[in-house]
Amino acid sequence: MYTPLHPLRIARFQFTIEPTEEIQLPDYKGAALRGGFGFAFKKATCLSRDRQCGPCMLKTACAYFTVFETKVPKETAERLSIGADAPHPFVLDPPMTERQHFHPGSSISYGLTLFGSAIDKLPFFVYAFMILGEDLGIGRGRGRFKLLTVVDDNGKNIYDEGNLSGGFAVHSAKDILEEAATLDRRLSMKFQTPVRMKSAWKPGGGPGLLTSITSDDEFYLLLKLLYHRAFVLAQLYGDNPVQQTYSSRNLAFESGAVTLQESRTHWLDWTRYSTRQKQEMQLGGMLGTVSFNGKTGQYLPLFKLGQYLHIGKGSTFGLGKYQLLETA
């Protein structure tokens, strides 16, 4: 069922930084990383310094263009059921702390997950974070910082005073899927960062953002969103994938086979400042925990893989992060 996802490789890292100036971060800290990371990445990689990537003759060899600006042909977009913009091949996990003020000498940790061909561009990501810290800063007042460590998924530090080493841990979607338990059991999820995903129907209109999970049907919505995201990432960034057309029918979902047991989900609003639009933007997402019972075993591998991918809109910058909870 999940063989189209097998070509995808995944590498996950934890970055630790030390403020050299006062840093003030918002409640949702992914917004602070989002605010300057794209600019830092372009500064780290762009050779022409042109404001527009379109007319640049170097764009096909440019790390910034292939990570941030890649468009997909119309036939590919239709085959994968996506828009013209390719999803970014990375996820930034924001610092998982309620603390907002960080003084020089303290530390802040956040995650970076790279997918497929983007793993080879790790040095550009590291250098971009160095530029972000030394030149641009983050948070209110653009507080600057220095990069201390980069640790892989096995706990190996691969960065030391400007030197980056190889030999870091790389997972394959195939191994993650095949090593996951497949026995029917309660499937419980904790949404750790706000989740933004469209419901099937909003009373009085079309589909709207799901504010809480209230029915059995929303298990299939979660399942379909996870599969679609994994499928697209594998097709665009996987190792020599066989071209396939996306179809949710590959999931072979049986209506009524999985039921909602408990939902403690709620909506959280927050505000972030858009550097590009130069204005405050009101955003929000769903948080909390949810549990399902029934014939969950065949879907557990996909939910395990989804912990690396995140789910819903804005996943690249940390939204939609969840954890599977251990249950009997």
Q: What is the pLDDT of residues 290-322, one digit of tens each?
A: 999 999 999 999 999 999 999 999 999 899 999
> What's the mean pLDDT in 131-158?
94
Of residues 28 and 110, the one with the higher pLDDT is 110
pLDDT in tens, 165-190: 989 999 999 999 999 989 999 999 99
Q: Topology of 173-325 in CATH? A: Alpha-Beta Plaits (3.30.70)
What share of the chain in percent tops pLDDT 90? Answer: 67
> What's the mean pLDDT in 49-73?
84
Gap between the Cα atoms of 111 and 152, Å rounded = 10
DSSP summary character for residue 248: G
Q: Could you tell me the pLDDT band of residue 32, with boundaries at 50, 70 and 90?
A: confident
Q: Could you tell me the pLDDT band of residue 156, with boundaries at 50, 70 and 90?
A: very high
Is residue 49 pLDDT above 70, yes or no? no
> What's the mean pLDDT in 118-133?
95
Q: For residue 320, which of 26, 28, 8, 10 has the smallest C-alpha distance?
A: 28
Gap between the Cα atoms of 298 and 292, Å rounded = 13
Is residue 238 pLDDT above 80, yes or no? yes
> Which of 163-167, 207-211, 260-264, 283-287 has maximum average pLDDT?
260-264
What is the pTM assigned to this prediction? 0.93
Does an H or E element contain 230, and which? helix 217-237
Gap between the Cα atoms of 130 and 124, Å rounded = 10
Q: Contact at 8 Å (CB) between 168 and 152? A: yes
What is the reported pLDDT for 273? 60
Q: Which two tokens stand for residue 229?
A: 């995201």
- Structural domain spans, the chain: 9-172, 173-325
Gap between the Cα atoms of 73 and 252, Å rounded = 29
Q: Any idea which of 32-36, 74-78, 88-92 has the lowest mean pLDDT?
A: 32-36
What is the reported pLDDT for 69? 87
Say if residue 32 is exposed, middle or buried (CB neighbours under 10 Å; 0-12, 13-18, 19+).
buried
Determine how β-strand 171-172 pairs with β-strand 187-195: unpaired
Cα dihedral 311, 313, 316, 321 in deg (nearest 10): -40
Q: Could you tell me the pLDDT band of residue 101, with boundaries at 50, 70 and 90?
A: very high
Q: Which two tokens stand for residue 167?
A: 């030999």
Is residue 84 pLDDT above 70, yes or no? yes
Q: Could you tell me the pLDDT band of residue 205, with boundaries at 50, 70 and 90?
A: very low
The rounded mean pLDDT for the chain is 90
Q: Could you tell me the pLDDT band of residue 136, with boundaries at 50, 70 and 90?
A: very high
Q: Could you tell me the pLDDT band of residue 41, with boundaries at 50, 70 and 90?
A: very high
What is the reported pLDDT for 31? 77
Of residues 283 and 225, the one with the higher pLDDT is 225
Q: 195-231: string of b/e by CB count within 10 Å (b at 16+)? A: bbbebeeeeeeeeebbeebeebebbbbbbebbbbbbb
Q: Any idea which of 3-17, 46-60, 265-279 has the lowest mean pLDDT?
A: 265-279
Gap between the Cα atoms of 45 and 41, Å rounded = 6
Gap between the Cα atoms of 296 and 187, Å rounded = 7
> What's the mean pLDDT in 98-103?
92
